[in-house]
């Protein structure tokens, strides 16, 4: 599903396809944009005296983190710098917002990022709670700048370059440039770039009382203003997702803006000092970016400047811009802005935040105001430049060409970066989608799942992009254990939450506009069985709306119908009343005639099987009822579609030619009927343990029904004028056998359960023409087939035909301990339901149970686009190193109780366990794990790595346990025996081995007449 949109940009243009971040008083980029448009000042005064005010752009919740989502133990989360934690979550959100959250579908992705200095590391190094577990070099991994990119690449499975970038204030814009270069060099096909700064109290600069310093004594950044007197610090994080523009357009990515060119350089020594900015270096980097972009500076309408509001920095920056732009564009043709007036200077994250602001301005066509600007700093000489400062949001609609912007970021030490942005090229509309779309949502916990459903539901209310949103969620998000799915139409309002539909009904009812989600918990994928119903399940109009809405189903049914007509049978499409298929000059075939019914059911069942397979629900086993077995055999490859149609046409005609009779379904087991049947009345089908179908001449059936009335047994006369699966069908046996003999029958490629035996159809049976004759005469042993199916364990079943006849039979035969989910493909007769919506709801029920879905099959080759949607709702909790050392019993390594029995191995055999379900050995292991990981161990099946353990912590675990139990443990033990129970068994086996070796040593010493010392052996067993 590619979209080939052309563009006239440079061949090395880079697309910005995703953005995410957290900023002072703005939890995401949407909130940031809203604050920018409304001139919101997120800088918070903290303290001060007189004219001196310390202020900061405060990032609330920087110490909160969803550790369990990322598989991080509480202890590891606590000793990880909040900057690392924040950027990990932000990187995840950026990838999801770009529509590339699923690692399996993601292009090779690089990561370029940097952070501010870690002051948190000092707290970790001072904490005995953590120093007792890891040495200083290992503690550095969680806090030091060097490990930011590689740790996140490891967590998110990013396979491209993972590089830490550090150039002070310009860090994150340099990271964007480097990411773009890596894309152009082919080192990766997608890249994340950004930065993070969380400095806590250290970010409150105590130099605010120095009027000539870099920090504003007034606690306000007044970039470009005459009263500008310094910057204000802030904390935050931002990341962007980049792709080559051609790739992004081809794959349907949402392009927010295009990076036409970028450049990076350094001032060198041509400036006043190391920390001073340099005009020459800034001019050179801006001109280089313009040259790479191939643009005339006069076409740039906005520059998001470095704009720190310092007395030295602002004049130098404007002078450099004026020289780089020259006289092009005319007076006040280009607006200057600085996001630092809104949120402060975000240090290592400053450049990417400036980029995000500029991308949003280019995308939305509005230039946000710059705050605290009253009159220009005369040293800027703005009147002689193309630049002006806007204090209100202004519409941005160039008279000709696309919107273009520049972004500057300059670091202390002279590393300068400049980026030229351009409005995204126009793209063609995606193909029209289905009327109904399956919208999947999943999370690691039920609470997060419910919140995600609510978030997505709100985002899609009355949306025209439901098909694209469904595609984005289907292919661009990871699939987690707790799942919910909605089947929505454009403009549908999703209803989620406590009233979610959780019953067993497999499809929607009616045409209401409130659609509740299907909820479930996914387990390991289960085998799938297709159930093909037989004659009697048909009804007028079945499959009509699915035929109109689903091209693949329509194509498959058309091929079956053509094969039926080629074999001399009536066109199933006319019998079904499918739209546009009936010749008005001919009578409509009677759907209740056997020679019409059977080809119609065959065509519908076969087409449904192909549709389910295209959707990824591939069968492991096939079970049909009477005629349904022929459809199953055809799906299994015993015969081709065309040959199957020939056999079905011959079967229907031959059975119709047989003498008339009757059939009755009786609510009694086969054993209760076999000895009470009148002459010529036979068992025709054993559907369940308590439902048997009998067949025979009308008088015999009537006599049986009279006897059943006397016994007060329930029964139902079936809608048929033939006695199927009885002696009345003998003439049809020979006719069908004769046709089957002319067909090239083959061994089944899938397991088909035989109606004749209730066991898997053998190759000899499948290729024997006489079998297919015998099959229409012998009793249908459907119950035996279901028993065979259930005996193999849990499974999922799809009724691939009209209604829910077989679903009810399977439910009646369900075995205890064999959970199944049986869904239907089409609603039954008399139910007004859109058939596509019904089928998609059934697919949703399978997906929430863990069935893998081939999402591309739902769109049938239609071109789809990725769209931004709410990202994962993290369930955060606070993790911070406390200043006081941990006290109490948990601070000490566990010790073994000398009063406990001396043989752990013996106690394990006797099943002695504590109230937590752990025996003594397991309890001691759990105590070590709990202390080193900081999380509770609840049972012997808990896995060290599932609880957030790492290889480094694993080595400490083994060292402590070896010392605790007095036996050596191999380094591989934590991998080969990762659960509490497995590790306990390994230790107990080692203890037994140690005792046996001690006994051998004692025997040897006694033989030598030497004295035996049992001290070590006794201690080992304790």
Residues known to be catalytic? 169, 306, 345, 626
Strands lying side by side in the sheet with 162-164: 162-164, 109-115, 190-197, 236-244, 14-22, 257-266, 415-422, 404-410, 302-304, 334-337, 387-389
Alpha-helix runs per DSSP H in 550-624: 551-566, 572-576, 594-614
* 540 alpha-carbon distance from chain centroid: 40
- Nearest Cα to Cα of residue 622 among 610, 608, 640, 636: 636
| Residue environment code for 798-808, b if the CB has 16+ CB neighbours within 10 A, otherwise e | bbbbbbbbbbe
Cα separation, 644 vs 743, in Å, equals 9
- Nearest Cα to Cα of residue 439 among 803, 867, 1, 106: 867
Please state, as a whole number, how many other Cβ atoms lie within 10 Å of the Cβ of residue 49: 8
Strands 52-57 and 43-49: what pairing? antiparallel
Cα separation, 391 vs 281, in Å, equals 29
Could you tell me if residue 635 is left (phi over 0), alpha (psi between -120 and 50 degrees) or otherwise beta?
Answer: alpha
Cα separation, 566 vs 560, in Å, equals 10
Write out the E strands in 144-229. Answer: 162-164, 190-197
Cα separation, 628 vs 753, in Å, equals 11
Query: In the numeric block, which tokens belong to residue 413?
Result: 């030490």
Q: How many residues does the chain have?
A: 1022
Cα separation, 312 vs 258, in Å, equals 32
Strands lying side by side in the sheet with 437-443: 437-443, 482-488, 518-521
Half-sphere exposure of 542 (CA within 13 A, CB side): 30
| Residue environment code for 67-95, b if the CB has 16+ CB neighbours within 10 A, otherwise e | bbbbebbbbbbbbbbbbbbbbbbbbbbbb
Kind plus residue range of the DSSP H or E element containing 729 = none
Question: Is residue 702 packed enough to be buried (19+ CB in 10 Å), middle (13-18) or exposed (0-12)?
Answer: middle
* 453 alpha-carbon distance from chain centroid: 13
**Bridge partners, 621 (sequence order):** 529, 751
Are 660 and 721 within 8 A, CB to CB? yes
DSSP letter string, 840-867: HHHHHHHHHTT----GGGGTTT------
- Nearest Cα to Cα of residue 74 among 153, 129, 156: 129
CA–CA–CA angle 267, 271, 272 (5° rounding): 145
DSSP letter string, 829-841: TT----HHHHHHH
Query: In the numeric block, which tokens belong to residue 139?
Result: 């503690």
Contacts of 705 (CB under 8 A, 6+ apart): 664, 715, 717
Are 771 and 724 within 8 A, CB to CB? no
């Amino acid at each position: 599903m590619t979209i080939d949109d052309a563009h006239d940009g440079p061949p090395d243009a880079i697309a910005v396809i995703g953005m995410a971040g957290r900023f002072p008083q703005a939890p995401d980029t949407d909130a940031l944009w809203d604050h920018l448009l409304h001139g919101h000042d997120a800088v918070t005064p903290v303290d001060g005296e007189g004219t001196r005010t310390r202020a900061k752009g405060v990032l609330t919740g920087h110490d909160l983190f969803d550790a369990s989502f990322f598989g991080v133990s509480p202890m590891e989360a606590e000793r990880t710098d909040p900057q690392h934690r924040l950027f990990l979550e932000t990187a995840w959100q950026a990838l999801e917002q770009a529509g590339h959250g699923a690692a399996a579908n993601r292009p090779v992705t690089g990561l370029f990022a940097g952070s501010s200095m870690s002051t948190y590391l000092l707290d970790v190094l001072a904490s005995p709670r953590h120093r007792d577990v890891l040495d200083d070099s290992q503690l550095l991994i969680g806090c030091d700048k060097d490990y930011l990119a590689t740790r996140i690449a490891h967590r998110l499975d990013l396979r491209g370059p993972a590089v830490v970038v550090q150039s002070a204030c310009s860090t994150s814009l340099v990271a964007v440039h480097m990411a773009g270069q890596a894309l152009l060099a082919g080192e990766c096909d997608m890249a994340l770039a950004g930065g993070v700064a969380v400095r806590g109290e250290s970010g409150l600069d105590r130099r605010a009382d120095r009027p000539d310093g870099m920090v504003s004594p007034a606690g306000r950044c007044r970039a470009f203003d005459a009263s500008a007197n310094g910057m204000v610090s802030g904390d935050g994080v931002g990341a962007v997702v980049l792709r080559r523009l051609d790739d992004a357009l081809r794959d349907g990515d949402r392009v927010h803006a295009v990076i036409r060119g970028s450049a990076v350089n350094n001032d060198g020594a041509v400036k006043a000092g190391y920390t001073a900015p340099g005009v020459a270096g800034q001019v050179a980097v801006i001109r280089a970016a313009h040259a790479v972009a191939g643009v005339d500076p006069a076409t740039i309408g906005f520059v998001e400047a470095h704009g720190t509001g310092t007395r030295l920095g602002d004049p130098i920056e404007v002078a450099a811009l004026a020289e780089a732009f020259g006289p092009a564009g005319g007076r006040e043709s280009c607006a200057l802005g600085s996001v630092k007036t809104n949120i402060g200077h975000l240090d290592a994250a400053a450049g990417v935040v400036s980029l995000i602001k500029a991308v949003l301005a280019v995308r939305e066509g509005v230039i946000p105001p710059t705050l605290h600007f009253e009159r220009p700093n005369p040293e800027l000489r703005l009147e002689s430049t193309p630049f002006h400062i806007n204090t209100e949001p202004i519409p941005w609609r160039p008279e000709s060409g696309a919107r273009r912007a520049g972004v500057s970021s300059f670091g202390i030490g002279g590393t300068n970066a400049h980026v030229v942005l351009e409005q995204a090229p126009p793209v063609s509309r995606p193909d029209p989608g289905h009327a109904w779309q399956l919208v999947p949502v999943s999370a690691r916990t039920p609470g997060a799942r419910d919140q995600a459903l609510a978030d997505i539901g709100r985002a899609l209310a009355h949306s025209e992009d439901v098909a694209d949103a469904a595609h984005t969620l289907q292919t661009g998000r990871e699939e987690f254990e707790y799942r919910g799915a909605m089947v929505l139409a454009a403009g549908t309002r999703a209803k989620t939450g406590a009233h979610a539909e959780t019953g067993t009904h497999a499809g929607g009812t009616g045409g209401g506009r409130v659609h509740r989600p299907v909820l479930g918990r996914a387990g390991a994928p289960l085998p799938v069985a297709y159930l093909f119903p037989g004659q009697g399940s048909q009804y007028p109009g079945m499959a009509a709306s699915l035929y109109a809405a689903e091209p693949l189903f329509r194509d498959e049914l058309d091929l079956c119908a053509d094969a039926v007509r080629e074999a001399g049978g009536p066109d199933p499409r006319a019998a079904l009343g499918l739209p546009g298929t009936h010749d008005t000059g001919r009578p409509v075939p009677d759907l209740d005639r056997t020679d019409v019914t059977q080809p119609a059911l065959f065509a519908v069942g076969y087409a449904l099987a192909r549709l389910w397979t295209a959707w990824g629900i591939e069968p492991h086993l096939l079970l049909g009822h009477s005629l349904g077995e022929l459809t199953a055999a055809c799906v299994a490859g015993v015969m081709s579609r065309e040959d199957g149609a020939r056999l079905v046409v011959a079967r229907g005609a031959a059975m119709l030619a047989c003498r008339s009779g009757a059939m009755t379904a009786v609510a009694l087991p086969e054993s209760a009927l076999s000895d009470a049947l009148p002459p010529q009345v036979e068992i025709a089908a054993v559907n369940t343990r308590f439902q048997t179908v009998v067949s025979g001449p009308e008088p015999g059936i009537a006599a049986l029904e009279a006897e059943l009335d006397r016994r007060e047994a329930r029964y139902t006369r079936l809608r048929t004028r033939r006695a199927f699966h009885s002696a009345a069908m003998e003439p049809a046996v020979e006719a069908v056998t004769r046709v089957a003999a002319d067909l090239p029958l083959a061994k089944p490629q899938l397991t088909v359960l035989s109606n004749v035996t209730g066991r898997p159809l053998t190759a000899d049976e499948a290729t024997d023409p006489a079998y297919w004759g015998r099959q229409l005469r012998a009793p249908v042993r459907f119950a035996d087939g279901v028993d065979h199916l259930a005996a193999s364990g849990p499974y999922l079943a799809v009724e691939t035909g009209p209604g829910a006849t077989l679903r009810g039979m399977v439910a009646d035969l369900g075995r205890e301990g064999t959970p199944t989910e049986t869904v239907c493909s089409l609603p039954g007769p008399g139910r007004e339901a859109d058939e596509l919506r019904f089928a998609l709801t059934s697919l949703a029920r399978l997906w929430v149970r863990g069935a893998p879905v081939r999402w591309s099959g739902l769109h049938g080759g239609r071109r789809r686009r990725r769209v931004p949607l709410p990202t994962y709702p993290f369930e955060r909790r606070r993790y911070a190193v406390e200043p006081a050392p941990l006290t109490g019993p948990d601070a000490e390594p566990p010790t073994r109780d000398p009063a406990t029995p001396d043989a752990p191995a013996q106690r394990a055999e006797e099943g002695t366990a504590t109230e937590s379900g752990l025996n003594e050995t397991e309890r001691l292991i759990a105590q070590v794990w709990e202390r080193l990981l900081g999380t509770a161990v609840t049972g012997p099946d808990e896995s060290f790595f599932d609880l957030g353990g790492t290889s480094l912590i694993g080595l400490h675990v083994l060292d402590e346990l070896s010392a605790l139990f007095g036996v050596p443990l191999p380094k591989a033990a934590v991998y080969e025996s990762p659960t509490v129970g497995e590790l306990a068994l390994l230790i107990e086996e080692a203890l037994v081995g140690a005792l046996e070796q001690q006994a051998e040593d004692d025997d040897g010493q006694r033989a030598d007449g030497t004295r035996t010392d049992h001290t070590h052996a006794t201690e080992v067993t304790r």
